Structure 1
Amino acid sequence: MTKVLILAAGQGSRLRPITNDRPKCLVPLLGKSLLQRQTDVLKSAGLNNIHIATGYRADQIEKLGYETSFNPLFDQTNMVESLFSAQSFIEGEEDLVIAYGDIVYQKDNLDKLLSSNDEIALMIDREWRAFWSLRLENPLDDAETLKLDSSDFVVELGKKTESYDDVQGQYTGLIKIRGDKVSDFISFYNSLDRSRNYDGQNFINMYMTSFLQMMIDSGWKARAILVNNGWLEIDTVEDLELYENMHNSGRLSHFYKYDSNDS
């Protein structure tokens, strides 16, 4: 069995005014909210135990009927804090999928992640540069390191870089933790020093990539599940406009395919 935690506590300030009255995950993309696009794909893969970590405008998500956990510090914390606000949900021995609330992805990519039996599996887009070039004049302005060993295990991620040689793929915000490692995953988090900084952030604002890097540095094996596009990240109003325009001109399907009957 596999359960899913979607991290959807953020305010989505760069998507205002759309997010003035709704959380980021309820922003519409091609006529359907990001959350519905994710949950439709998850359910099509047989994943029905879906839990959502909420914060900003939690009421909008709660009324949809999903089980939720609330991060009361949503306006001053980062995703790791939201993840462990749902600790009572993630406890157990089931495989755990963790998904950012501002992404959408194809079922074939999800299936690749689910097929992994590694301690940690991270969906990594090796064709990231073409995607990032649509969104940014200089993709390196927003790029972070992603280095793999000869067996496609991640050895470094999340650092700033000025060289494409340091970026063997883009971490997408989709993670799988093997069921027998979930308790160790929680214990690792609980063992961290709350008083120190992590990559320049205090504990409650730790980046997810910082958390994953510390796990890797401590001996965890994080497998890169390599895909070629097949997903989108929605950060800004400009992203939404870009994807809508690409859809209208027939160019979006190169980067993200979905059933034309579901929009």
Structure 2
Amino acid sequence: MNSKTTQLRHLLSSDGTEFIMEAHNGLSARIVEETGFKGIWASGLALSAQHAVRDNNELSWTQVVDVLEFMADATSIPILLDGDTGYGDFNNMRRLVRKLEQRGIAGVCIEDKLFPKTNSFIQGERQPLEDVETFCGKIQAGKDAQSDDDFCIVARVEAFIAGWGLDEALRRAEAYREAGADAILMHSKLSRPDEILAFATEWADRAPLVIVPTKYYSTPTEVFRQHRVSLVIWANHLIRSAISAMQDTAARIQASESLVDVEGQIATVAEIFRLQGADELLEAEKRYARSARAETSAVILAASRGQALRELTRERPKVMIPVAGKPVLRRLVDKFKAQGINDVTVVAGYRSEAIDVQGVRIVENGDWEETGELASLVCALDAVGPDTIVLYGDLLFRTYILNNLLDWDAPLLAVVDSSPLDQAQGNTNDIAYCNARDDRAMYQQRAFLDRVCADRDWQGREPDGRWIGLLRISGDGRDAVGRGLDALRADPGFPRMGMPDLLNQLIEQGDAPQVQYITGHWMDLNNHDDLQRAAGFAQGHRS
């Protein structure tokens, strides 16, 4: 494909009449290209309007260039900038051209008015014009500054706007052509094309002629072809249509206090993602994002009601109880997403319809009243991938615990609080016995589970802590969990089994989970006393 500058030059020198459309940001530029236009007009009016400033050079040229960079990156067709007066004298013009070439802009149109300019349709007849020699010097400076021979400078003549008439329009156009302008844009604010057609007849195709029929919009396009117009610019219609659409949508939502009337009549979020190139990013991630560890997922076991919380769980499961204004489940999901864990599955049961948390996949344990945690885990086995965190749904914990869990390299890793049992919160059947006590002086100590149970003196031993309900399964650990579940299914009591049963089965089959010791900084919600403490925990520790 030809470069963007070459494409623009071909549009200007085409034997027929070509058309380009206004755009004012990357999104509108991409829409212009997708629609089939061969080029884009970066309108000064539209660029100013989208920032809610006046078309009086209130938007600086550097701000304009910043927007143009996004437009150029989003498209493969040429962009012709409405460069006002060149944003200053000949020296500003030289710098502008160099910066536009660096950003991949194909050309610039400058007008022979004084800086700072005022829009031509606002008392144009009172606006003084730049003297011809000065403007010719600006054109020549721009041409000398360009490094790409195909970069185009279009000279816009404002003689008709200022009320000077045909002779002055022709005099200026010819001077600008001789100074090096690649095309002449002749502007008019009349509702009929008479001035433009008179100029086109006298101009006799000396150089490409560009027009902007905003005011004389009802003129048949064939008339422009007959008069050898090279390029027609539809100059501000996307920004105007966007304004109308936004005003209408905002008014309807405000009046109805609902989205029902508009949702089916506006672009979908999926369409926004498409225009943003979201699919391309996903494909690129497959090629380039070669992370050392697999993408992590999470499975949250949240099927139980939380009977001890009585009235608080009459209409909702325990995981939807708010703590410091935010449901427990929302806190967990936010914590995972903050660490880049976006694949979150929630196993629901009691009042599953009341789970209203975005960003999760819900699977249901329909037999939640008759089954335990392992039955819930089985419901979500397809979500247990190469790296998955399984946890209780009523858990609150400090962020560093999750960070450490992700940082350790072990196929099975269980988080154990080594605080004395009378200080630690948690389920009474999650008491942990390990092959080594917590050596707090050792970083990433290699200790393994020996048993998880409700017994405080298993085999006459002193407990080493309490499993908090967090288990990471990665690599070979996934197969180990599969073997453990298969073995446990053979037991008639399997439907009522909990996570400690799985941990103990893993130990028995030679796949004992490694232990990540912590000391406090977590809690779960079993009763009203826990709930009262939870608000302070969440607020004090940003849980």
TM-score (norm 1): 0.82
1:131 to 1:32, Cα distance in 2 relative to 1, 3 A: farther
Q: Aligned residue pairs: how many?
A: 239
- Alignment-derived partner of residue 233 in structure 1: 524
CA shift digits 1:194-242 (9 cap, x unpaired): 344xxxxx21001211211011111003111011111111011221124
Question: Is contact 2:429–2:500 with CA below 8 Å preserved after alignment?
Answer: no
- Alignment-derived partner of residue 28 in structure 1: 322
Pick aligned residue for 1:214 from 495, 501, 505: 505
CA shift digits 1:62-87 (9 cap, x unpaired): 66452111111101111111011112
- Tell whether 2:434 aligns with 1:175: no
Q: Residue 143 of structure 1: CA displacement?
A: 6.6
Pick aligned residue for 1:147 from 433, 439, 443: 433
**Distance (whole Å) between structure 2 residues aligned to residue 6 and residue 29 of structure 1:** 18
Pick aligned residue for 1:156 from 436, 443, 451: 451
**Distance (whole Å) between structure 1 residues aligned to residue 389 and residue 356 of structure 2:** 20
Q: SS at 2:305's partner residue?
A: coil
Higher strand share: 1
Pick aligned residue for 1:51 from 342, 345, 348: 345
- Tell whether 2:518 aligns with 1:258: no
Q: Residue 99 of structure 1: CA displacement?
A: 1.1
Aligned-pair identity in percent equals 24
**Distance (whole Å) between structure 2 residues aligned to residue 112 and residue 63 of structure 1:** 26
Amino acid at match of 2:326: K
Q: Residue 159 of structure 1: CA displacement?
A: 3.7
Q: SS at 1:42's partner residue?
A: helix
Q: Which runs of 5+ in 1 are unaligned?
A: 197-201
Structure with the larger RCO, 1 or 2 (CA within 8 Å, 6+ apart)? 1
Question: Is contact 2:434–2:447 with CA below 8 Å preserved after alignment?
Answer: yes
Q: Which moved more, 1:146-155 or 1:8-17?
A: 146-155
Q: Which runs of 5+ in 2 are unaligned?
A: 1-294, 437-445
Q: SS at 2:447's partner residue?
A: coil
1:58 to 1:128, Cα distance in 2 relative to 1, 3 A: farther
Question: What are the residue-to-residue correspondences of 1:98-117 with 2, within 5 Å?
Answer: 98-117=390-409
**Distance (whole Å) between structure 1 residues aligned to residue 479 and residue 511 of structure 2:** 13
Question: Is contact 1:99–1:175 with CA below 8 Å preserved after alignment?
Answer: yes
**Distance (whole Å) between structure 2 residues aligned to residue 223 and residue 213 of structure 1:** 13
Q: Residue 165 of structure 1: CA displacement?
A: 5.3
Q: Residue 51 of structure 1: CA displacement?
A: 0.8
RMSD of aligned Cα (Å): 2.5
Question: What are the residue-to-residue correspondences of 1:166-205 with 2, within 5 Å?
Answer: 166-196=462-492, 202-205=493-496
Amino acid at match of 1:177: I
Q: Residue 193 of structure 1: CA displacement?
A: 4.4
CA shift digits 1:5-45 (9 cap, x unpaired): 00111111111100001111111112211111111211111
Q: SS at 1:183's partner residue?
A: helix
Q: SS at 1:127's partner residue?
A: coil
Amino acid at match of 1:161: R
Amino acid at match of 1:147: Y
TM-score (norm 2): 0.41
Question: Is contact 1:103–1:234 with CA below 8 Å preserved after alignment?
Answer: yes
**Distance (whole Å) between structure 1 residues aligned to residue 356 and residue 486 of structure 2:** 28
Which structure has the larger Rg? 2
- Alignment-derived partner of residue 6 in structure 1: 300
1:98 to 1:195, Cα distance in 2 relative to 1, 3 A: closer
1:257 to 1:121, Cα distance in 2 relative to 1, 3 A: farther
**Distance (whole Å) between structure 2 residues aligned to residue 193 and residue 6 of structure 1:** 21
CA shift digits 1:145-193 (9 cap, x unpaired): 4221134111111141258952111100010011333134223312334
**Distance (whole Å) between structure 2 residues aligned to residue 129 and residue 149 of structure 1:** 18
> After TM superposition, what 4+ stretches of structure 1 lie above 4 angstroms from structure 2?
162-165
Amino acid at match of 2:514: R
Question: Is contact 2:430–2:500 with CA below 8 Å preserved after alignment?
Answer: no
Question: Is contact 1:106–1:257 with CA below 8 Å preserved after alignment?
Answer: no
Amino acid at match of 1:158: C
